[in-house]
């Protein structure tokens, strides 16, 4: 187990190193100078030069790369070119929106997907199954921002149950904060729930045809008992994998939803920073997201090994 | 419940609520939405208009200031005297003005602010405004003498810009995140990515504003903007990003529409040094190939005033020259043939993100293809536009709104990105700058407008409209935008 973990750790470090180079190169290659973006069309050459020097943009790219990576290793993500505040602080602030939103959405999607998937599997081929599968097909096909707009139309503009967007802040109480994240979380959760429900259903169906299920029935369990006691538990492995992937997706992929609901989250930060060529912010946030995804995968790998002894012995 | 009935139910509720509101105190807080978030809050070291929108006249004030109608009136300077030759300005400052940190605003602060703007390492985005300043002297605590290198008829106007506000040396270090000015509002809080809050300044030297608190909220997505207004999450949208939605607000008694003008001349910028645009016949053909009204209707849903030169129609000195470049595709074809392009030619059309450019660009490309010109559309982000079009001058055509007030002077800069190099025009601008007589200035400005119109430097499209949406009860909002500003001091709620 230790050797396996070490091996995974090494590949994690390598992935991060490669990612840092790719991110830096891709972002720096795109044309656009942060200083001229800030100073606009009437800026004079000497003003631009002064600002570039102030921002530390007047050194070579290689030097900037090593400054950036070196800083990150000791937890210093640099200072935003446009906001002039430490990037780490900006990320921390935005995390308080994006992380709860991702967890909220994931919870909702699991709460919807599990019953739906199990119900459909138990009623395979019957009208109930067809209805659930039809709904999930729809959920996968419709983009989440469309759901978002519909939710706003119904619950914010017509019914006035929620605000159309914005984040009320946690300092006004847990409920106030959760309330302002509810519509975005539902919009994010629906397509994810559709995917998860389908995975749950097909995983269950696979398991139902396994020999041990027949054995379970043979030893006297009812269909329902066998499904719950042996089926669902075994189906959890592929489902957990998908949940892991979805979590990274929700954390990194809520850019559009954060725009639609104007939430001050990580996605919006990246979006603003890209258009302002706030390179250091883009690089650091993307790197952080890569780190999160890789870490989640690492955890999932370890969890597999813990669950399935065959993985350990094979390496 | 049918929709109609639901509406009447809702409005009955609203009526009940407003009746109740009149019983209570008048509302003294307001939430104003704008599309872009300011990068920081120092108007003297960035070009971002969003900074001025939040801080101009609210937090920071200059020696002079713009009013909503575009006039320039005394600000922190109570009065001034101008020497006979027009080079020495002696400003008398208001007495008893303090910064939000309690320190006194005096002549030293004025000297500090102007010196900072003109300094070698100045980060001022509009350094050219101050280029004519030779010295700034403190005569006594309430008197400042500014000596110019040569007379400048625009000097008081230049001092009204957000880039010329008075700042204090004591608070300059953290000005970007904690702005300390002399204005009627103090900076309270900034939740980055979300909102900025200002509070009334009880020690303000002037009249106390009606508002106690103002919150600026940043909503960039046009759909979200519509939803936020409709759900009444915000009270005002400073410049509404989706003109197609405005009829809905107009029809709704809960809202008022404030359609005004900005200082933005929206033009089809043409690279005058790049073949074939170095030929005036080709540029003239381009001008006649464009149907302005179709662009205004198609891209801006009818909002915008056609212009025939680079000048704001609401300015008294404006001359209507749209006739010089009237829509006439046949004449355009004839001109192209005369210039040696009977079958037209190919060029590029770079489009920055705003909808006037992206939507307008599609229409212009279609209109150009009518006369045989194939314009390849290239969508660019602002940073990219600044790099390749503005700085690199690698473009044939581009659409952009020039939002600086009174910026016809850019045509006198041969290295400016559209590269118009006319000694006649440059001489005209030099004369203008040293002329202070108002009538003579008006005449010269008219001449300048005619010159760039008949030289067909760029395709002059329309003056960008300012499309404000507000709840019906809000009063005192600027309709026009002589500069980017949301002047809170005059805003109040109808009681």
Task: Give the number of residues written for chain A.
Answer: 315
Residue with tokens 């969508």: B379
Pick the closest to residue B134 from B123, B125, B145, B142 (CA basis): B145
Q: Give contacts of B191 with chain A, Cβ < 8 Å.
A: 93, 169, 264
Domain boundaries, chain A: 93-314
Q: What is the pLDDT of residues B151-181, one digit of tens each?
A: 888 899 999 999 999 999 999 999 999 999 9
Residue A137 CB-half CA count within 13 A = 6
Instruction: Inform me whether the C-beta atom of residue A261 falls under 8 Å from chain B C-beta atoms.
Output: yes
Into which CATH architecture does domain A93-314 fall? Orthogonal Bundle (1.10)
User: How far apart are the C-alpha atoms of A25 and B323, rounded to whole Å?
Assistant: 51
A265 vs B12, more confident = A265
- Average pLDDT over all residues of chain B: 90
CB atoms within 10 A of CB B291: 19
pLDDT, average across residues A133-152 = 90
Q: Give contacts of B40 with chain A, Cβ < 8 Å.
A: 82-84
Looking at residue A312, its pLDDT comes to 64
User: Which residues, at least 6 apart from B359, have a Cβ–Cβ distance to it below 8 Å?
Assistant: B298, B299, B300
User: How far apart are the C-alpha atoms of A254 and A145, rounded to whole Å?
Assistant: 10
Please state whether B480 falls in left (phi above 0), alpha (psi between -120 and 50) or beta: beta
User: How far apart are the C-alpha atoms of B406 and B427, rounded to whole Å?
Assistant: 17
Looking at residue B235, its pLDDT comes to 96
Residue B329 burial by Cβ neighbours in a 10 Å radius (0-12, 13-18, 19+): middle
Which one of B10, B48, B125, B252 would you mutate to disrupt binding with A, by most A Cβ within 10 Å of its Cβ?
Answer: B125
Structure tokens at B466: 């300012």
**How would you label A128-164 residue by residue, b for 16+ Cβ within 10 Å and e otherwise?**
ebeebbebbeebbeeebbebbbebbbebbbeeeebbb
Looking at residue B237, its pLDDT comes to 96
Q: What is the pLDDT of residues A43-79, one digit of tens each?
A: 888 888 888 888 888 888 888 888 889 988 888 888 8
Q: What is the pLDDT of residues B54-71, one digit of tens each?
A: 999 999 999 999 998 888
pLDDT, average across residues A273-302 = 85
Structure tokens at B379: 């969508």
Looking at residue B11, its pLDDT comes to 45
Yes or no: say if A35 and A51 are a contact pair by the CB < 8 Å rule: yes
Q: Give contacts of B386 with chain A, Cβ < 8 Å.
A: 32-33, 36-37, 41
Q: What is the pLDDT of residues A96-109, one digit of tens each?
A: 999 999 999 999 99
Give the distance from residue B153's alpha carbon to the nearest chain A alpha carbon, in angstroms.
20
Instruction: Inform me whether the C-beta atom of residue A152 falls under 8 Å from chain B C-beta atoms.
Output: yes
DSSP H or E run through A245: helix A233-252
User: How far apart are the C-alpha atoms of A32 and A282, rounded to whole Å?
Assistant: 14
Interfacial A residues in 175-234 facing B (CB < 8 Å): none
Q: What is the pLDDT of residues B194-225, one digit of tens each?
A: 999 999 999 999 999 999 999 999 998 888 99
- DSSP line for B271-337: -TTSTTTTSHHHHHHHHHH--HHHHHHHHHTT-SEE-SSSS-TTSTT----GGGG---HHHHHHHHH
CA angle B41, B46, B49 (to 5 degrees): 75
User: How far apart are the C-alpha atoms of A10 and B232, rounded to whole Å?
Assistant: 53
Residue A13 burial by Cβ neighbours in a 10 Å radius (0-12, 13-18, 19+): exposed
Looking at residue A288, its pLDDT comes to 87
Q: What is the pLDDT of residues A233-259, one digit of tens each?
A: 778 878 888 888 888 788 766 788 998
The answer to whether the complex's ipTM is over 0.90 is no
For the entire predicted model, the pTM comes to: 0.85
- Average pLDDT over all residues of chain A: 86
Of B123, B233, B353, the CB nearest to A51: B123
CB atoms within 10 A of CB B388: 18
Residue B9 burial by Cβ neighbours in a 10 Å radius (0-12, 13-18, 19+): exposed
Yes or no: say if B461 and B354 are a contact pair by the CB < 8 Å rule: no
Structure tokens at B245: 């939605």
A210 vs B445, more confident = B445
Residue with tokens 């507000």: B470
Pick the closest to residue B138 from B109, B163, B117, B97 (CA basis): B109
Looking at residue B161, its pLDDT comes to 94
Structure tokens at A169: 């802040």
Pick the closest to residue B146 from B132, B161, B157 (CA basis): B132
Looking at residue B270, its pLDDT comes to 96
Residue B127 has pLDDT above 70, yes or no: yes
Instruction: Inform me whether the C-beta atom of residue B37 falls under 8 Å from chain A C-beta atoms.
Output: yes
Instruction: Inform me whether the C-beta atom of residue A84 falls under 8 Å from chain B C-beta atoms.
Output: yes
B6 vs B330, more confident = B330
Which one of A27, A31, A58 would you mutate to disrupt binding with B, by most B Cβ within 10 Å of its Cβ?
Answer: A31
Q: What is the pLDDT of residues B318-349, one digit of tens each?
A: 999 999 999 999 999 999 999 999 999 999 99
């Amino acid at each position: 187990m230790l050797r396996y973990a070490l091996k995974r750790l090494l590949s994690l470090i390598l992935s991060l190193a490669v990612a840092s180079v790719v991110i830096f190169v891709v972002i720096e290659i795109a044309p656009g100078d942060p200083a001229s973006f800030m100073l606009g069309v009437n800026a004079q050459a000497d003003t631009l030069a002064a600002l570039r020097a102030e921002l530390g943009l007047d050194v070579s790219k290689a030097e900037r790369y090593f400054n950036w990576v070196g800083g990150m290793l000791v937890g210093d993500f640099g200072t935003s070119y446009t906001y002039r505040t430490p990037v780490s602080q900006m990320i921390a602030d935005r995390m308080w929106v994006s992380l709860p939103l991702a967890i909220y959405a994931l919870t909702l999607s699991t709460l919807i997907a599990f019953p739906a998937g199990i119900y459909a599997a138990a009623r395979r081929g019957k009208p109930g199954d067809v209805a659930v599968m039809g709904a999930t097909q729809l959920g996968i096909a419709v983009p989440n921002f469309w759901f978002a707009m519909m939710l706003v139309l119904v619950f914010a503009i017509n019914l006035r149950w929620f605000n159309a967007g914005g984040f009320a802040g946690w300092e006004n109480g847990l409920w106030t904060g959760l309330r302002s994240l509810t519509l975005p979380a539902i919009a994010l959760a629906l397509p994810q729930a559709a995917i998860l429900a389908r995975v749950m259903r097909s995983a269950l169906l696979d398991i139902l045809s396994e020999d041990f299920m027949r054995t379970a029935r043979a030893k006297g369990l009812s269909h329902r008992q066998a499904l719950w006691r042996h089926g669902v538990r075994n189906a959890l492995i592929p489902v957990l994998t998908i949940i892991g992937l979805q979590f990274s997706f929700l954390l990194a992929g809520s850019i559009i939803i954060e725009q639609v609901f104007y939430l001050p989250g990580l996605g919006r930060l990246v979006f603003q920073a890209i258009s302002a060529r706030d390179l250091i912010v883009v690089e650091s946030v993307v790197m952080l997201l890569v780190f999160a995804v890789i870490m989640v995968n690492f955890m999932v790998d370890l969890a597999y090994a813990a669950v399935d002894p065959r993985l350990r012995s094979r390496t | 419940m049918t929709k109609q009935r639901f509406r009447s139910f809702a409005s009955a509720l609203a009526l009940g609520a407003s009746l109740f509101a009149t019983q209570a105190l008048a509302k003294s807080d307001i939430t104003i939405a704008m599309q872009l978030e300011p990068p920081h809050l120092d108007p003297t070291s960035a070009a971002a208009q969003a900074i001025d929108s939040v801080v101009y006249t609210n937090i920071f004030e200059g020696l002079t200031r713009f009013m909503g109608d575009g006039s320039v009136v005394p600000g922190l300077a109570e009065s001034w005297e101008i020497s006979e030759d027009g080079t020495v300005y002696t400003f008398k400052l208001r007495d008893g003005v303090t910064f939000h940190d309690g320190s006194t605003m005096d002549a030293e602060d004025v000297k500090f602010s102007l010196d900072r703007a003109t300094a070698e390492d100045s980060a001022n985005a509009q350094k050219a405004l101050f280029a004519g300043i030779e010295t700034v002297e403190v005569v006594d605590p309430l008197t400042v003498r500014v000596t110019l290198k040569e007379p400048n008829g625009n000097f008081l106007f230049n001092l009204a810009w957000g880039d010329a506000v008075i700042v204090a040396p004591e608070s300059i270090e953290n000005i970007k995140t904690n702005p300390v000015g002399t204005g009627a509002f103090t900076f309270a809080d900034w939740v980055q990515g979300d909102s900025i809050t200002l509070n009334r300044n009880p020690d303000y030297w002037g009249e106390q504003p009606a508002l106690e608190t103002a919150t600026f909220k940043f909503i960039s997505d046009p759909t979200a903007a519509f939803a936020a207004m409709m759900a009444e999450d915000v009270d005002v949208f400073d410049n509404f990003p989706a003109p197609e939605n405005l009829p809905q607000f107009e029809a709704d008694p809960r809202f008022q529409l404030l359609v005004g003008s900005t200082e933005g001349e929206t033009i089809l910028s043409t690279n005058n040094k790049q073949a074939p645009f170095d030929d005036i016949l080709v540029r003239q053909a381009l001008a006649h190939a464009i149907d302005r009204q179709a662009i205004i209707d198609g891209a801006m849903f009818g909002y915008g005033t056609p212009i025939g030169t680079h000048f704001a129609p609401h300015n008294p000195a404006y001359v209507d020259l749209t006739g010089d470049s009237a829509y006439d595709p046949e004449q355009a074809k004839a001109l192209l043939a005369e210039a040696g392009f009977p079958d037209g030619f190919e060029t590029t059309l770079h489009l920055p993100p705003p909808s006037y450019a992206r939507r307008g660009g599609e229409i212009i490309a279609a209109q150009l293809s009518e006369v045989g010109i194939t314009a390849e559309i290239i969508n660019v982000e602002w940073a990219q536009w600044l790099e390749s079009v503005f700085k690199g001058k690698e473009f044939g055509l581009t659409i952009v709104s020039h939002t600086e007030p009174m910026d016809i002077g850019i045509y006198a800069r041969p290295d400016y990105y559209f590269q118009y190099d006319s000694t006649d025009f440059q001489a005209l601008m030099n004369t203008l700058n040293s002329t202070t007589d108002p009538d003579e200035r008006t005449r010269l400005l008219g001449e300048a407008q005619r010159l760039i119109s008949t030289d067909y430097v760029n395709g002059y499209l329309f003056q960008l409209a300012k499309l404000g949406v507000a709840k019906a009860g809000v009063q005192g909002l600027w309709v026009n935008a002589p500069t980017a500003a949301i002047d809170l001091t005059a805003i109040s709620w109808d009681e």
